[in-house]
């Protein structure tokens, strides 16, 4: 077993009683996250400088971010492996001419509709942690991008706060900055940006995950956290955090 495999297993140690079903974030969790409007806008603003005209969104879920990226004016191909989520996407934007929708399990080769899309931007927001072989997934993404295309990753950070919530959300791992840099380099990307995000979220996630061992979060908790996001975003615009609940990465393919 390689070092990455050891780290992944070590993070999940003691979580064996929780069903690990990759890429299958519970639908009710995605619905609760529709309330996190400030947080979703924060992620969008991180991505905004790198967005191109043809965006491939991997793991679109029920479209919590999809609508924001459509508002940017780009053409979006939204993908997910879950038919129920894709059906919700279609019903939400039945006449949106700039939106295409396709089924894709990132563990497998891209279907024809995806491989023929020729994206200049790939968005992978809170998805890579659900993939056991994340390097192979990144290599698939690299093969899809046009020359000079951008990969935008947003992943959970800090292995030491991995706990019951991560396992319930089917996370194989939480990432370190060095790990993200290494695996994206191996997949053939050139780094443009890599930094922590949401330092204020770390204590709450650690408390829920490691101390009281929660297996879900409520709509009330999401709304409370979302009220704090403008303050966190403002602080981190001036003071880059030395740690954070998530990591943001922007890279280019040659």
CATH 3.40.50.880 applies to domain 3-253: no
Query: Whole-angstrom Cα distance, residue 128 to residue 46?
Result: 18
Residue 13 pLDDT more than 70? no
Mean pLDDT of the chain: 88
Model pLDDT for residues 163-198, shown as the tens digit of each residue: 998 998 899 999 999 999 999 999 999 999 999 999
Q: What is the mean pLDDT of residues 43-60?
A: 97
Q: Quick check: 122 and 152 in contact, CB under 8 A?
A: yes
Domain ranges of the chain: 3-253
Contacts of 246 (CB under 8 A, 6+ apart): 126, 154, 155, 156, 157, 196, 197, 198, 201
Phi and psi at 211, nearest 5°, equal -100, -60
pLDDT at 29: 57
């409520």: which residue's tokens?
218
Q: How far is CA 160 from CA 10, 83, 184, 191, 246, in A?
A: 10, 34, 22, 25, 13
Task: Check residue 254 and give its pLDDT.
Answer: 85
Tell me what the mean pLDDT of segment 195-202 comes to. Answer: 96
Binning pLDDT at 50, 70 and 90, where does residue 69 land?
Answer: very high
- Residue 28's pLDDT band (boundaries 50, 70, 90)? low
- How many other CB atoms are found less than 10 A from the CB of residue 67? 16
Cβ-Cβ contacts under 8 Å for 251 (sequence gap 6 or more): 150, 151, 153, 184, 189, 190, 191, 192
């Amino acid at each position: 077993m390689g070092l990455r495999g050891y780290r992944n297993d070590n993070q999940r140690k003691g979580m064996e009683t929780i069903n690990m079903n990759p890429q299958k974030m519970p639908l009710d969790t995605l619905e609760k996250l529709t309330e996190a409007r400030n947080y979703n806008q924060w992620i969008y603003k991180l991505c905004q400088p790198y967005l191109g005209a043809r965006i491939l969104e991997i793991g679109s879920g029920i479209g919590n971010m999809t609508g924001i990226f459509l508002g940017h004016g780009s053409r979006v191909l939204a993908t997910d492996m879950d038919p129920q989520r894709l059906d919700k996407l279609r019903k939400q934007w039945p006449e949106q001419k700039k939106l295409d929708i396709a089924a894709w399990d990132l563990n497998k080769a891209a279907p024809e509709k995806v491989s023929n899309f020729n994206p200049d931007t790939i968005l992978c927001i809170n998805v890579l942690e659900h993939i056991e072989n994340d390097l192979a997934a990144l290599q698939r993404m690299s093969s899809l991008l046009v020359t000079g295309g951008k990969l935008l990753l947003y992943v959970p950070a800090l292995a030491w706060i991995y706990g019951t919530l991560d396992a319930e959300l089917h996370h194989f791992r939480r990432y370190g900055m060095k790990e993200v840099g290494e695996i994206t380099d191996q997949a053939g990307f050139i780094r443009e940006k890599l930094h922590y995000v949401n330092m204020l979220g770390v204590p709450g996630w650690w408390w829920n995950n490691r101390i009281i061992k929660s297996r879900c979060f409520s709509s009330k908790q999401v709304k409370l956290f979302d009220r704090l996001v403008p303050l966190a975003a403002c602080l981190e615009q001036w003071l880059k955090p030395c740690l954070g609940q998530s990591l943001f990465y922007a890279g280019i393919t040659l």
